[in-house]
Amino acid sequence: MEKTLLILKPDAFKRNLVGEIIKRIEMKGFKIVNMKFEFLSKEKAKRFYEVHKDKIFFNDLINFMISGPILSIEVEGENAIYLMRKLIGATKPEEREMGSIRGDLAIGLTDNLVHASDSKENYEYERKIIFGN
């Protein structure tokens, strides 16, 4: 079994889609093993998205992520990292497939409802930031 991290972003709360997203995760067969509700500090958000620090959208992303609550969910399942990325769909609106969380529910590039780790290394890095050791 593999674990991965999923984060429901502030727009999931603003649009009342938290339950729908969790339902899709559970219907896909993932087991929720850890959850944390919080308001990210600016420092924690910057550390989490450090990989994007030199990109033009970095400050907008940070401001978005601290604009409301997030729900971090650690899930477990077969091939969890790959399958969760398929379930959430592409980041870019023009690449999103219908049936994915973003394809069905997201409305923009930044306000795309969810984040999911894209590799085992990133899962481990991101998990430490969110949940600690």
Structure tokens at 123: 């899962």
- Cα–Cα distance for residue pair 77/3, rounded to 1 Å: 6
Task: Give the Cα separation of 117 and 15 in Å (integer).
Answer: 23
CA 20 and chain centroid, separation: 14
**52 catalytic, yes or no?**
no
Of residues 10, 115, 123, 126, which has the active-site annotation? 115
Cβ-contact 109, 91 below 8 angstroms: yes
Catalytic residues: 115
